[in-house]
Structure 1
Amino acid sequence: MAVARPVRVLGLAAVLMWCFFIYQIFHPGKSILKPGAVPPSFERDPNMDPTGEPDGILVRTSEEYAPGLENSARINATLLALVRNEELDGMLQAMRDLERTWNHKFNYPWTFFNDVPFSDEFKKKTQEVTKAKCNYELIPDEHWKMPSWINMDLFDESVQMLKEQDIQYADKVSYHQMCRWNSGMFYKHPALANTQYYWRVEPKVHFFCDVDYDVFRYMQDNNKTYGFTINLYDAPQSIPTLWPETLKFLAEHDGYVHENNALDWLTDKTRRPEHNNRANGYSTCHFWSNFEIGDMNFWRSKVYEDYFNHLDRAGGFFYERWGDAPVHSIALGLFEDSSRIHWFRDIGYQHIPFFNCPNSPKCKGCVTGRLTDGASFLHREDCRPNWFKYVGMG
């Protein structure tokens, strides 16, 4: 019996040390950084705290964001949607969610894009959902049509190969056009020439949490370039030459890679080595860009423009199925300071079948911590643990 007490004490000490270890890993103000990395800024997500004023954010009154107000507190930003007339119902649902949870407080304008003119019904019903100004823009042919250097015979052969590998939307020319437009064309539209920030919103997405601060001002005040909610693995068979083309580009452009990059996240092979192998060195981790809050100055930079033009001439938007999500993610991971990329953990979001559902009393309609409403194997697609491991939670 004399030995039992020290054993119990040691056991209790071991438990306490383990709890402290777990706390250090998952505490919001901590991160696991790659060796030699510059620690990112870990300011608290303001919306996660239901009481008190958000850290580092000037709280403004709703009157300063009144619709139509000149010299309002709104900064140079818009809500942005690429949407068809026939997707009206899904767009209205997404708008109602975002207006209810956020934009009715801030009244940021909506900008809708389509490759054909919007119908009167689309314009009428979308404007009825918001007090903010709505803009309806037609995409120029030169931004949408398949480029002249794409070989149609090769495209047709490539489509058949992709279909044999069960790549979704491989035979839809409009899907390839959409991926290219979202990758390197949308920010060139004349309607956005004087706009800096955007929040991309797609039809049928859901928003679950009341967000009480101006996310665009948060981006500006905290020097953030890009914000995401969900971070996934891509289908490697849809992008087999994307990474090799990227390496070719880097070999021709010495000095473009940022010193505080996220290369380890882009090339990780520990969790899903089969993805890295099939994508020829790319982990396929990417920010799911159906939600993104971004600073268009990054896309307009010489570094990104050079990168996009290289990829565009390589033809992978049509010969393969390069999506804007991996293209944006690779560019951000290589060319931007990783501390300027922010996980909006407080914005509850769903694009079927994946969720970002925070543990917050401000969230309703989703299950805390839930990633997917699909099969359990889909949890393997979550690449956020890699981001937190190599970059952190900033």
Structure 2
Amino acid sequence: MGDQSSPRNDSAIIALVRTEELDGIIFSMRQMEQNFNAKFGYPWIFFNDKPFTEEFKRRTRLETRASCLYEQIPSEHWDIPSSVDPGKLTEHMANMKSRGVKHASDLSYHQMCRWYSGFFYKHRALSHLRYYWRVEPWIKLFCPIEYDVFQYLSDNDKVYGFTINIYDDPLTLPSLWPETLAFITENPHHLGQNNAWKWLTDNTHRPDVNLRANGFSTCHFWSNFEIADLNFWRGDAYDSYFQHLDRSNGFFYERWGDAPVHSIGVGLFENISRIHWFRDIGYQHTVYANCPDSDRCNGCEPNKFAPVAFWLNQEDCRVNWLDQVCQDSAMEHGYLCPKRNRNH
């Protein structure tokens, strides 16, 4: 993988964060600096729909020797589009809330998901960049990362890297897959030759979820950890897909997350050989984790997906992913395939 300590000039660590999340993002910065960025010195770019306070800037700058940029999101990228009917929005949000959909009535959450789905890669602060690592408040890293993850993507022709592979709540996205199929019908030329169709449509492991999501397994890469190539999102296949989705207003009338939208996009329009599971990066966000079985790692239980509660293991989509990548034993993932029935 290479031990390259000079940072690339086309990569950065990014975070969408509110001023009131200062303590959480400082916690994450310390995790990132200690385990990765103190060695490589990649810039931090913070985004907010409102101006950052001077205290936020001062305290975050104290956490890194790398440069920090503070960017406000343009209103045209954040505001509710005029095509959204206010009455219908209120009705749909109340209906989702009554059915227990998380964040259903949190309008800013809907806006965040839409921004990360189709606007973050259009921000001028990222216009000169190729790669990014997305970070959220209160994340944990358990293993020193001794190599440059951005260089790894570049050297190995990868466009997307993940750690956690998980089911979604089908109540948040009943029309997402039907809208996706409508887009594919109109644009079959965008489909990747060796894509992740099986993973996206699996109905054997959680048939109840697939049924309620109208043919979508809901398996997705958890995008609170995301190391990826901005050029994929900028490309015609993904961006036109987002435009199609956005016209349906599903980010507001339903509660589509950016994680399933990103995952469907990269899963359908790319070759799965260009998607990388960073199995060696120990990572936790809320109750889910990726913990390698390695002496390098401390503070997590090896191979535990849900260290907090055993019943949450049903949300793990790793078996589905291995079923997908192991269809082609010649792939780089082939070394994983003999172990696919083990909890690893």
Q: Which residue in the other structure is 2:3 paired with?
A: 59
Unaligned runs of 5+ in 1: 1-56, 66-72
**Residues of 2 paired with 1:253 and 1:312: CA distance?**
16
> 1:319 offset after TM fit, Å?
0.2
Residue 120, structure 1, aligned to residue 54, structure 2 = yes
**Residues of 2 paired with 1:142 and 1:300: CA distance?**
18
**Residues of 1 paired with 2:57 and 2:296: CA distance?**
31
SS in 2 for 1:102: helix
**Conserved 8 A contact 1:232-1:382:** yes
Aligned residues: 328
Aligned partner of 1:378 among 312, 315, 326: 312
**Conserved 8 A contact 1:102-1:210:** yes
**Residues of 2 paired with 1:199 and 1:153: CA distance?**
37
CA RMSD in angstroms, aligned pairs only: 1.0
Residue 236, structure 1, aligned to residue 236, structure 2 = no
- The TM-score with structure 2 as length reference comes to 0.94
Aligned partner of 2:98 among 164, 186, 193: 164
Unaligned runs of 5+ in 2: 327-331, 334-344
Residue 388, structure 1, aligned to residue 332, structure 2 = no
SS in 2 for 1:210: coil
**Residues of 2 paired with 1:86 and 1:373: CA distance?**
28
Aligned partner of 2:10 among 51, 65, 76: 76
1:13-92 maps to which residues of 2 (within 5 A)?
57-60=1-4, 62=5, 65=6, 73-92=7-26
**Conserved 8 A contact 1:211-1:347:** yes
**Conserved 8 A contact 2:2-2:148:** no
**Conserved 8 A contact 1:104-1:131:** yes
1:1-394 maps to which residues of 2 (within 5 A)?
57-60=1-4, 62=5, 65=6, 73-392=7-326, 394=333
- Which amino acid is the alignment partner of residue 264 of structure 1? K
**Conserved 8 A contact 1:94-1:202:** yes
> 1:137 offset after TM fit, Å?
0.3
SS in 1 for 2:238: helix
Q: Which runs of 4+ in 1 moved over 4 A?
A: none
SS in 2 for 1:379: helix
**Conserved 8 A contact 1:75-1:216:** no
**Conserved 8 A contact 2:3-2:146:** no
Which has the larger Rg?
Answer: 1
- Which amino acid is the alignment partner of residue 160 of structure 1? A
> 1:371 offset after TM fit, Å?
1.1
Between the aligned residues of both structures, percent identity stands at 55
**Residues of 2 paired with 1:296 and 1:92: CA distance?**
25
